[in-house]
Amino acid sequence: MRVLLAGGAGYIGAHTAVALLEAGHEVILLDNLDNTSAVVADRLEQITGTPVTLVVGDATDDAVVERTFSAHGPFDAIVHFAAHKAVGESTQKPLDYYANNLDSTFALLRVGLAHGIRSFVFSSTGTVYSNPADLPFTEAGTRDLVELSNPYSKSKLINEVVLADVQRVTPDLNVTLLRYFNPVGAHESGLIGEDPRGIPNNLMPFVARVAVGSLPEINVFGDDYDTPDGTGLRDYIHVVDLAEGHVAALEKAQPGLVSYNLGTGRPVSVRELIASFEKAVGRELPKVVAPRRAGDLAATYCDPAKADAELGWKARLGIDDMTSSVWTWQQRNPRGYDS
């Protein structure tokens, strides 16, 4: 299968490119390099031994997508990773988030459908649920749009609605909505990984920066939650497992609309994640308890049974695989791709 990866040079896109190439598929990356580096294409070549084409351009622009299809198509499928993803920033820049995260879908759909794609796989998020009463989250019911706390999550849910409406009038099209939980980890080579710009917002890259000495201490945001050790519980999923979920979704794609949770279903606390990272590093890391972060839930985790039953996919890797691979990546690339 020949697959266009929009946002393919980003963190999840790059790992998915490896998984697809290793499964014998062909990929073309389209990325505006807004939050990643062109170096990723070289790293993918090193990992897979396959030449990798990266088109630098914006997936929100029909003309760019059209040129990509003309030069590198036909494609059987599009996987759409190209989005702004910082929750806090989305509350400050809602218009940027809605415009970017929706215009990219519109352009990819318009051009892709005109060229006869058979499948459209969309990067959605576990934050479309977020009602603690529903734990563990199944695919059955997303939260009402107005109840979601931020424009990032809303932009993802609006995309899901758009895609469902388009699929309804395009019955031969497969639309697969993949709802990611907390992707962490890196390819075992240490050549690709998460490279957030500035001070990371998310726990794993923050811990990695403390471990490598570029940040002074970890802030544990609240230790008085109603959880076994008082810290927040999340469903961290190794990005390599997540990438394989995309391969399974593409290979099993049938006409119709379908959604899958991609997570492990095993919640891990902030303290457990830090302890696992400390084991990988071989020493204790400086940490302090800080106030709860506004908007955080005590616990989020999914029921991943549907993906197992229908795609034959389930997460294989555990928290120690996640932390040790991040440590390998961080040591080899202490300043990310600019190292």
Q: Which two tokens stand for residue 245?
A: 């979920």
Asked if residue 4 lies in contact with residue 77, where contact means CB atoms within 8 angstroms, the answer is: yes
Of 134, 3, 162, residue with least CA distance to 68: 3
Nearer to ligand UD1, 58 or 194 (CB): 194
Q: Which residue is nearest to ligand UD1 (CB)?
A: 232
Asked if residue 83 lies in contact with residue 101, where contact means CB atoms within 8 angstroms, the answer is: yes
Between the CA of residue 85 and those of 33, 93, 228, what are the distances in Å?
Answer: 14, 12, 30
Task: Return the SS3 of 27.
Answer: strand
Active site residue 152: yes
Least distance between ligand UD1 and beta carbon 292 (Å): 7
Q: Does 295 bind ligand UD1 (CB under 6 A)?
A: yes
What is the DSSP annotation of 287-310? EEEEPPPTT--SB--B--HHHHHH
Q: Does 265 bind ligand UD1 (CB under 6 A)?
A: no
Q: How many CA atoms lie within 13 A of 322 on its CB side?
A: 28
Residue among 182, 259, 261, 333 that touches ligand UD1 (CB under 6 A): 182
Could you say which of 11, 129, 152, 236 is catalytic?
152
Asked if residue 98 lies in contact with residue 151, where contact means CB atoms within 8 angstroms, the answer is: yes
Q: Does 206 bind ligand UD1 (CB under 6 A)?
A: yes
Q: Contact letters (x/-) for ligand UD1, 142-181, by CB under 6 A?
A: ----------------------------------------
Least distance between ligand UD1 and beta carbon 143 (Å): 13
Nearer to ligand UD1, 1 or 289 (CB): 289
Residue among 48, 189, 219, 227 that touches ligand UD1 (CB under 6 A): 219
Asked if residue 315 lies in contact with residue 304, where contact means CB atoms within 8 angstroms, the answer is: yes
Q: Does 211 bind ligand UD1 (CB under 6 A)?
A: no
Nearer to ligand UD1, 112 or 222 (CB): 222
Beta strand pairing status for 233-234 and 268-269?
Answer: antiparallel
Nearer to ligand UD1, 220 or 240 (CB): 220
Nearer to ligand UD1, 138 or 202 (CB): 202
Counting residues that bind ligand UD1 (by CB under 6 A) gives 18
Of 101, 96, 150, residue with least CA distance to 124: 101
Least distance between ligand UD1 and beta carbon 321 (Å): 17
Q: Which two tokens stand for residue 51?
A: 């030449």
Nearer to ligand UD1, 34 or 224 (CB): 224
Q: Does 203 bind ligand UD1 (CB under 6 A)?
A: yes
Helix intervals (H) in the chain: 11-22, 39-48, 62-72, 87-92, 94-114, 151-168, 203-212, 239-251, 270-281, 305-311, 319-332
Q: Does 183 bind ligand UD1 (CB under 6 A)?
A: yes
By CB under 6 A, what part of segment 72-91 binds ligand UD1? 87
By CB under 6 A, what part of segment 108-147 binds ligand UD1? 125, 127
Q: Would you say how long the chain is, in residues?
A: 339
Least distance between ligand UD1 and beta carbon 78 (Å): 21
Cβ burial of 170 (10 Å; 0-12, 13-18, 19+) is: middle
Q: Does 234 bind ligand UD1 (CB under 6 A)?
A: yes
Asked if residue 251 lies in contact with residue 76, where contact means CB atoms within 8 angstroms, the answer is: no
Nearer to ligand UD1, 112 or 304 (CB): 304
Q: Does 238 bind ligand UD1 (CB under 6 A)?
A: no
Of 87, 106, 108, 90, residue with least CA distance to 98: 90
The stretch near ligand UD1 (CB under 6 A) out of 95-103, 131-139, 196-204, 317-325 is 196-204
- Catalog residues that contact ligand UD1 under the rule CB under 6 A: 87, 125, 127, 182-183, 201-203, 206, 219-221, 232, 234, 270, 293, 295-296
- Which residue numbers are catalytic? 152
